[in-house]
Amino acid sequence: MAANTFGFIGLGNMGAPMCANLVAAGLSMRVFDAAGTAERAPEGAVAADSIADLAATTDTVFLSLPDGKISGLVCDAVLATADRRVSRVVDFSTTGPEAAGAMGAKLNAAGITFVDAPVSGGRAGAIAGSLTVIASGPESDMNDLATAFDAVGGNIFHVGEAPGQAQAVKLLNNFLSATAMAATSEAVLFGQKYGVDISTILDCVNVSSGRNTASADKFPNRVVTGTYDAGFATALMTKDVALYLEQVRVAGTPDEIGSVVSGRWNAVLEDMPESDFTEIYRHIAGETQTGE
Catalytic residue numbers?
170
> 111: buried, middle or exposed (CB in 10 Å: 19+, 13-18, 0-12)?
exposed
Euclidean distance between CA atoms 153 and 143, whole angstroms: 15
Phi-psi region of 122 (alpha: psi -120 to 50; beta: other; left: phi over 0): left
The amino acid that residue 242 corresponds to is A
Instruction: Please say whether the dihedral angle defined by the alpha carbons of residues 230, 236, 238 and 242, taken in this order, is positive or negative.
Output: negative
Asked if 230 and 123 touch (Cβ cutoff 8 Å), the reply is yes
Own/partner contacts of 73-78, CB < 8 Å, gap of 24 or more, are 74/9, 75/103, 75/106, 75/107, 76/106, 77/51, 77/52, 78/51, 78/107, 78/112
The CA angle 55-60-62, to the nearest 5 degrees, is 90
